[in-house]
Structure formats: structure tokens, C-alpha cells
Chains A and B, each alone.
Chain A
Amino acid sequence: MSKTRSHAGRSIAAHAILITYTLIALFPVFVIVINSFKSRRAIFAEPLMPPMPGNWDLVGYTTVLEQGDFFQYFLNSMTVTVASLFFVLLFGAMAAFALSEYRFRGNLLMGLYLALGIMIPIRLGTVAILELMVSAGLVNTLTALILVYTAQGLPLAVFILSEFMRSVSDDLKNAGRIDGLSEYRIFFTLVLPLVRPAMATVAVFTMIPIWNDLWFPLILAPSEETKTITLGSQVFIGQFVTNWNAVLAALSLAIVPVLVLYLIFSRQLIRGITAGAVK
């Protein structure tokens, strides 16, 4: 009796802490979204007031959609994020499979080398990367960004996925080998579906820094055609005057696609599909 009560008490305390944290974390997002629907005067006068008939103004959105090629920026961000994600997951999973599955000389060293990138920020190499892209003729292309982000995401992907792949049953892979499946089919049809939750985790961790990044778009691809949404939003922030309506509207819009991607992956995170494969 007392045991169940204390259990409920603990549960309430845990929820209270989590709800408080959620509120704190979501507060800035909430302020951005509500103010993006208000007039400039209302933003400064009453920043915490929700949008209502008196202060309702869509000027931010109309500015964003009229000025500059915002749809193009969106498309660029989407292309870069999705393509980088695809390559990080593909190459990361393949490297992780090789490291966890095959015994070869230097396996451990190779694993450490690949994981080293987690500790060394890729931005330290910005100058070298820029020189590389200039000599390769890739400046102001989305390819440059995709290459850099793939490199940036790989270390963590390899690290997390190789741990998970070690836990995939050897018997299952061996059964595939005896039945004559190629190593590629074993990887794609047997192993990958079983590590899908880990893939989703890696996807979320990889996606958000790429979508939010300002640094590499600014340096490697600042041209009008290749601007990403974060870089595109910067036009409204001036040295002396900032168009807050437009900035807030652009930021609100920028949240939507990443939220959609997150929802897709988090469904995968939750779905347990290993049941029945092995005991």
C-alpha cells in the first residue's frame, strides 16, 4: 500500500521536473512563434502577449515570402540536410558493420581513428576545407556543404552504430551466409532493420546541427542560389536596424521541416521491431 503510494509520489516528482524542464526549453521557441504573428510595435510593447485581433500582423511572413528567394533557401537547407543524413547513415552504418563484424589487423585502431572526430571539432579545419573546396571548384555549391556535413556526422554515427551492431545476433548473420546471401544483403536486409532504432538516434543527432549551421554556409556557399535558411534569415539582421518581424517569421518557418523530420525519426525510435528474430 505504502509502496504504491511512494511510487506514485516519485512518479509525480519526476513528471514535475520533466514538465518544468520542458517549459523552460520550449519558452524561447514559444516567444519566437507568438511574436512572429504580431506587429512590430506589439513585439516590443508586450513581448509575452499572445497574438490577438489588436496586435495581429502578418507583415513578417509577407516580408519573408516576398523578399529574397525564401522557398529556394528552404529547398537548399532541405537538400543539404537530407543528402548529408543519407550519406552519414549509409557510410556510418557500413563502416560500423565492418568494424563490428570482421576481424582484421588494425580493427581497433581504425575504430579509434574514426571516433576521433567526435572530440575534434571540424571547424578547426575550416581554412583547409575552404582551400580544398576552392581548388576542387566546389565553392558555392551544395555539394561542398553535403561533403563537409557528411564528414562531420560520420564519427558519432560510426561510434554509436558499431556498438549496436555488435549486439545483432551472430547466428542470424551466419544463417544468412549459409543460405547464400551476399554480405551486402546480410547488411541491408538483416542487420539494418534490426538497428533501425539506433539509426533513428543517429539521424536526430546528426540532423539538428546541420539544419542549424550558419558557419559553413556562410564560408563555403554564401551565393544567392546556395543560401540555406539560416543564412537567408540573416539578411533581416542589420548592423543598425533589424527587421524583427521578418527574423521571427523566418525562424518560425525554419522550425517546421526539422520538426517533421524529427517526428518521422522518433516514431522509428519507439518502434521495436526485433521481436521474434532471435530469442
Chain B
Amino acid sequence: MGALTLSQVTKSFGKTDVIKGVDLHVAEGEFCVFVGPSGCGKSTLLRMIAGLEDVSSGSVTLDGRDITDEAPAKREIAMVFQTYALYPHLTVRDNMSLALKQAGEPKAAIDKATARAAAMLALDPYLDRRPSELSGGQRQRVAIGRAIVRTPKLFLFDEPLSNLDAALRVQTRIEIARLHRDLGATMIYVTHDQVEAMTLADKIVVLRAGIVEQVGSPMELYNNPANTFVAGFIGSPQMNFLKSAALGERGESTGIRPEHLTLSRETGTIPGTVSHVEKLGGETLVYVRAEPHGLLTVRLFGEHDYAVDEPVHMTPDASRAFHFDAAGLRLR
């Protein structure tokens, strides 16, 4: 189990800088999630930690040991891939035990570690099957099992749930959270799904274009975003950005989350017309067109009947509003 430190890590492909100087500390036993839109460099950063991509400059330290130029197999890490990446010619048992065999562990130890991982993931009935005989969810469990068997200092997950269907995704997400509690291992998890980030992470790292925008716990990011990018990325549905000038507020734009807007037919500070309504049962999302702000989302709990083109009024919760300057930075 180890703590990971990145200091001034950069990565360039030719003249393109993909990672532009990342400093990060992940404490022992922490669940850290890299989140960001596609192309933000989160997967590249993960691959650099794994040793699958060279580090252009800077250093990677795991458990006090500099592993910047170490081969992937020597780093005491394990990785779970989006496409599972199971060895097609090996059985589940052999898939899980290959790394230990390569490391020259005694057979009894390998059997014990494999049995333990299989029991944790309920894979016992499938040990002698090949990956082609398993379902998607089972394959991803085998891939996770393969990582557990090695008892690495650091677990790396590269969008492990992206290829699973919605129901299985929730189930596997819970399973990963439980594993983290049981193993107490340091984990780094890459995703573009902010729901996964919010539900799993101890610490979220929001990346954009190779730069760390903000690091913090899920609630810190939700309640205290540093800029419009983080504010817009964390929280679902996305935060509304209103024109400050029209509201008489300070700054360039004012951010209000959909759950912090109230909707009324009679009175309110922002008038608009309903453009679309999404009823989810437990909650209702009302999209309201309000000039000059554009389309705003209002999240209401329970069922509400609003008709399209109906005139409505919105009132923001002033205590939950965020103010941003023209560059998108938060005004405190």
C-alpha cells in the first residue's frame, strides 16, 4: 500500500504538450478519481503512472521510491482496463495468476492469492472458463481479480465501467467501492462520468487540456468550485450560468445549480417560458428559456405539471450562488 506523488510531470508527443506540469499527492489508502472531458489527458496521466507512457519531464514517486523510469511490471502496480484486456487463450484462473507466475512466486502462494481474489469477487464457478465464455460484467470482475491477486501498492482503473450497461455499471461501481474499503489500498480511477467520480472518490482531480483545474473531495468541488469549468463539470444536471449584469450581481457570470432554483407560476425574480419538461418520477427537470441568460435547468423534487410554452418565474437561492469573472475564475 503506498502513497503516490507526482511532481511537475509533463508529457509531449512531438510538439504537442498533452500533460502540462502536474503536481499531485495521493495519500496511502486514498481513492483518487481523475475526471475530465475526453482529450483532457486523464488517461495519459494514468498511463504515465503505470509506466506505459514515458514521462517527458518531472518525477513519479510511489511509497518513497522514484519509479519514473521503472518498467511497468517492476512498479508494484496493477491496472484494470476499459476493454477488460483479458488474455483470450488463458482460463480465468491463469489470467489471474499470470503476473505472479511471471514474478516467480511459489505455486502454493499463487493458488492462495487466486482463491482469495476469486472468493472476493464470487468468481469461483468460472475459474476454468475462458474469457469468451463469460459475460461483460464477469469479464470485468476477472480483470479486477487479476489486479487484486498481485496485492499491488497502487490500483489503476482506466474507465472500467464504460463498456458495461447501466444496471451493471451501478452494481460494479458499488463492488469497486466495497473492494476499496476491504483492501484499504490506494486507488486511482479515471472516468469522464462525474457521477462515478462523486460516488467513489475520496479525492477528485479535475483535469482540462493537461492541466489540473482543481483537487478536492467531492463535496468541496460541489460547494466550492474554483472556476466555471469545475462548476459546470461537477453536478448533474449541469450548473446554470446566468448573466450577472442582468441580475445586478457582481462579476461576469453567476452560477446557480438546477436544484437551487425555485419555480413559480406567480412570482419570481427571473421570468421565462417553459421549453421542455423531463419527468423522472422522483424528480422533474424543467428547462426554461429566459433571456438574456439562455436555457436554464430547474430541478424540482417530486412530480410537477408544467406545460411547454407556459410563462414561469424563477427565484435563485442567493446563498448558493457562485460569482465568476470574465476569465471564468471564481470571485470570493
Chain A interfacial positions (CB closer than 8 Å to B):
169, 171-172, 174-181, 189-190, 193-194, 273-279
Q: Are the C-beta atoms of A177 and B86 separated by less than 8 Å?
A: no
Q: B194 to chain A: closest CB distance in Å?
A: 23
Q: Are the C-beta atoms of B85 and A179 separated by less than 8 Å?
A: no
Minimal Cβ-Cβ distance residue in A for B81: A171
Contacting A at CB under 8 A, from B70-116, are 71-73, 77-79, 81-89, 98-99, 102-103
Which residue from A172, A177, A279 sits with its C-beta under 8 Å from B52?
A177
In the complex where A172-B85, A178-B77, A179-B73 touch, is A275 in contact with B132 (Cβ < 8 A)? yes
Q: A115 to chain B: closest CB distance in Å?
A: 23
Q: Are the C-beta atoms of A276 and B131 separated by less than 8 Å?
A: yes
Q: Is B331 in contact with chain A by the CB < 8 A criterion?
A: no
Q: Is B117 in contact with chain A by the CB < 8 A criterion?
A: no
Looking at A171, A179, A194, A279, the one whose CB has the most chain B CB atoms below 10 A away is A179
Q: What chain A residues lie within 8 Å of B73 (beta carbons)? A: 177-181
Is the interface on chain B under 10, 10 to 19, 20 to 34, or 35 or more residues? 20 to 34
Minimal Cβ-Cβ distance residue in A for B162: A279
Q: Is B130 in contact with chain A by the CB < 8 A criterion?
A: yes
Which residue from A175, A180, A275 sits with its C-beta under 8 Å from B103?
A180
Q: A20 to chain B: closest CB distance in Å?
A: 39
Q: Are the C-beta atoms of A171 and B102 separated by less than 8 Å?
A: no
In the complex where A178-B72, A178-B79, A179-B73 touch, is A193 in contact with B88 (Cβ < 8 A)? yes
A190 vs B139: C-alpha distance when bound (angstroms):
17
A174 vs B143: C-alpha distance when bound (angstroms):
13
A178 vs B150: C-alpha distance when bound (angstroms):
11
Minimal Cβ-Cβ distance residue in A for B134: A276
Minimal Cβ-Cβ distance residue in B for A274: B88
Q: Are the C-beta atoms of B83 and A273 separated by less than 8 Å?
A: no
Q: Is B312 in contact with chain A by the CB < 8 A criterion?
A: no
In the complex where A178-B73, A178-B77 touch, is A171 in contact with B132 (Cβ < 8 A)? no
Looking at B77, B84, B130, the one whose CB has the most chain A CB atoms below 10 A away is B84
A-B contact pairs, 5 of them (CB 8 A): A172-B83, A172-B85, A174-B52, A178-B72, A190-B87
Q: Is B163 in contact with chain A by the CB < 8 A criterion?
A: yes
If A275-B88, A276-B134 are given as contacts, then 13 extra A-B residue pairs at C-beta distance below 8 Å, sorted by A number, are A169-B83, A171-B81, A171-B84, A171-B158, A177-B52, A178-B78, A179-B99, A180-B73, A180-B102, A276-B131, A277-B87, A277-B88, A279-B83
Chain B interfacial positions (CB closer than 8 Å to A):
47, 50-52, 71-73, 77-79, 81-89, 98-99, 102-103, 130-134, 136, 139, 146, 158, 163
A64 vs B89: C-alpha distance when bound (angstroms):
47
Q: Are the C-beta atoms of A276 and B132 separated by less than 8 Å?
A: yes
Q: What chain B residues lie within 8 Å of A180 (beta carbons)? A: 73, 99, 102-103
Q: A187 to chain B: closest CB distance in Å?
A: 14
A278 vs B83: C-alpha distance when bound (angstroms):
5
Q: Are the C-beta atoms of B130 and A276 separated by less than 8 Å?
A: yes
A83 vs B156: C-alpha distance when bound (angstroms):
45
In the complex where A177-B72, A276-B130, A277-B131 touch, is A172 in contact with B87 (Cβ < 8 A)? yes
Q: What chain B residues lie within 8 Å of A275 (beta carbons)? A: 88, 132
Minimal Cβ-Cβ distance residue in A for B82: A171
Q: Are the C-beta atoms of B50 and A178 separated by less than 8 Å?
A: yes
Which residue from A174, A193, A274, A276 sits with its C-beta under 8 Å from B86?
A276
Looking at A178, A179, A181, A274, the one whose CB has the most chain B CB atoms below 10 A away is A178
Q: What chain B residues lie within 8 Å of A193 (beta carbons)? A: 88-89
Minimal Cβ-Cβ distance residue in A for B90: A189
Q: Are the C-beta atoms of A278 and B84 separated by less than 8 Å?
A: yes
Q: What chain A residues lie within 8 Å of B131 (beta carbons)? A: 276-277
Q: What chain B residues lie within 8 Å of A277 (beta carbons)? A: 86-88, 131-132
In the complex where A179-B99, A180-B73, A181-B102 touch, is A174 in contact with B133 (Cβ < 8 A)? no
Q: What chain B residues lie within 8 Å of A273 (beta carbons)? A: 88
Q: What chain A residues lie within 8 Å of B88 (beta carbons)? A: 193-194, 273-277
A276 vs B129: C-alpha distance when bound (angstroms):
11
Q: What chain A residues lie within 8 Å of B83 (beta carbons)? A: 169, 171-172, 278-279
A279 vs B139: C-alpha distance when bound (angstroms):
9
Q: What chain A residues lie within 8 Å of B133 (beta carbons)? A: 276
A190 vs B83: C-alpha distance when bound (angstroms):
15
Which are the 8 A-B pairs with shortest beta-carbon distances? A276-B132, A180-B73, A277-B88, A180-B102, A171-B85, A171-B81, A175-B85, A179-B99
Q: A273 to chain B: closest CB distance in Å?
A: 7
Q: B74 to chain A: closest CB distance in Å?
A: 8
Looking at B47, B50, B88, B103, the one whose CB has the most chain A CB atoms below 10 A away is B88
Minimal Cβ-Cβ distance residue in A for B102: A180
In the complex where A179-B98, A189-B89 touch, is A279 in contact with B84 (Cβ < 8 A)? yes
Minimal Cβ-Cβ distance residue in B for A193: B89
Q: A111 to chain B: closest CB distance in Å?
A: 17
Q: B12 to chain A: closest CB distance in Å?
A: 12
Q: What chain A residues lie within 8 Å of B134 (beta carbons)? A: 276
Looking at B84, B85, B134, B158, the one whose CB has the most chain A CB atoms below 10 A away is B85
Q: B57 to chain A: closest CB distance in Å?
A: 18
Q: Are the C-beta atoms of B85 and A278 separated by less than 8 Å?
A: yes
A276 vs B146: C-alpha distance when bound (angstroms):
16
Q: What chain A residues lie within 8 Å of B50 (beta carbons)? A: 174, 178
A41 vs B85: C-alpha distance when bound (angstroms):
66
Q: A271 to chain B: closest CB distance in Å?
A: 13
